[in-house]
Amino acid sequence: PKRAEHLAAGGVLPHGLPAAVGAELAAADREIRPGGPQPGDSRSDDELIADFAADIRDFADRGGLAGAVVVNVASTEPAPDSSRLPASSLYAAAALRAGCPYVNFTPSTGLHHPSLADLAATSGLPHAGRDGKTGQTLLRSVLAPMFLQRSLSVRAWSGTNLLGGGDGAALADPGAAAAKNAGKERVLADALGAAPEGEVHIDDVPALGDWKTAWDHIAFDGFLGSRMILQTIWQGCDSALAAPLVLDLARLLLRAHEKGVEGPLPELGFYFKDPDGDASPALAEQYATLVGFAGSLR
Ligand SMILES: NC(=O)c1ccc[n+]([C@@H]2O[C@H](COP(=O)([O-])OP(=O)(O)OC[C@H]3O[C@@H](n4cnc5c(N)ncnc54)[C@H](O)[C@@H]3O)[C@@H](O)[C@H]2O)c1
């Protein structure tokens, strides 16, 4: 409820909405269970997975739910560097063990851990990821195919992001930022056939709150090598861009599960920076694939 008030004060949510849904938010808050592992936790990875799976089953049972979908929207983790599973992978394994479809909306490892490959392949459950595509990468997945189709050769594609909010703070950690930027750069390499020169930077600017600014600078060549530049400035509200995607994904995964669809869903590449499989990186083609997939679930 406090977070909703903060979002309303910041102009993200309509004034009055937090009060109107206050009871639902308080009920959701009461469902929060400690994740982990907490510092000093002596449980093994398998024990943690079993405990988290029991929490998820208990939630579904108490609510009398016909189905539940687990969506990871926790802070970006740095790439794992120990033999222990990172929290995102513990939660992903717990979701499948509890019989729930799973979505990874973050760049964190989740089901992409080598020791979870068997579970992901044999769970019989649908799953999708990774890292929601809501701003800079969304725009890149529209523009990059244009350069290719017009034979405009991209020499360099550089980007800078100014982020407030919790995500900006988490991505101030170079390890977490590296995990995030790998996904952002993948779309260019896939769409253009090779990664152009240029890097992506993320700066934490707490004063921006939920808004972020993404600046892209694209140097490209036209006929006979004539040099040109395109610059784009995206000013978006992260929460408002992400929330409807999370709702879509929960509903699509639940329906896919009901229809007996299992395994990774490259058909949902429209939503992700780093999608499963080798589907087209171009947004228009991803949308056509999504519409076809949604039609097959009717
Ligand atoms: N437009 C978007 O908002 C967008 C787009 C793509 C991806 N993402 C990803 O979604 C994630 C969340 O973004 P955000 O802006 O909401 O971040 P945020 O910092 O506002 O919220 C993250 C929440 O996760 C919690 N958390 C951290 N570690 C946890 C753990 N181990 N177990 C349980 N909870 C944990 C934090 O306490 C915090 O409440 C990030 O990984 C971000 O990169 C967001």
Radius of gyration of the chain (CA): 20
* 276 CB within 6 A, ligand 1: no
156: left (phi over 0), alpha (psi -120 to 50) or beta: beta
The DSSP output letter for 145 is H
Tokens coding 261: 């669809």
Q: What is the pLDDT along the chain (298 residues), one digit of tens a residue?
A: 999 999 999 889 999 999 999 999 999 999 999 888 888 999 999 999 999 999 999 999 999 999 999 999 999 999 888 889 999 999 999 999 999 999 999 999 999 999 999 999 999 999 999 999 999 999 999 999 999 999 999 999 999 999 987 777 888 888 888 877 877 778 899 999 999 999 999 999 999 988 999 999 999 999 999 999 999 999 999 899 999 999 999 999 999 999 999 999 999 999 999 999 888 899 999 999 999 999 999 9
Distance between Cα 295 and ligand 1 center (Å)? 31
Tokens coding 89: 């992978």
How far is it, in rounded angstroms, from Cα 37 to Cα 49?
A: 10
Fold (topology level) of 2-132+242-296: Rossmann fold (3.40.50)
Distance between Cα 240 and ligand 1 center (Å)? 14
* 210 CB within 6 A, ligand 1: no
* 8 A C-beta contact, residue 217 and residue 239: no
Q: Could you state, in order of their start, the residue ranges of all structural domains in the chain?
A: 2-132+242-296, 136-237
* 78 CB within 6 A, ligand 1: no
Q: What type of residue is 9?
A: A
Whether 2-132+242-296 and 136-237 share one fold: the answer is no
Among protein residues, the one whose CA lies closest to atom 32 of ligand 1: 35
Distance between Cα 200 and ligand 1 center (Å)? 20
193: left (phi over 0), alpha (psi -120 to 50) or beta: left
How far is it, in rounded angstroms, from Cα 18 to Cα 184?
A: 33
Among protein residues, the one whose CA lies closest to atom 9 of ligand 1: 106
Tell me the CATH architecture of domain 136-237.
Answer: 2-Layer Sandwich (3.30)
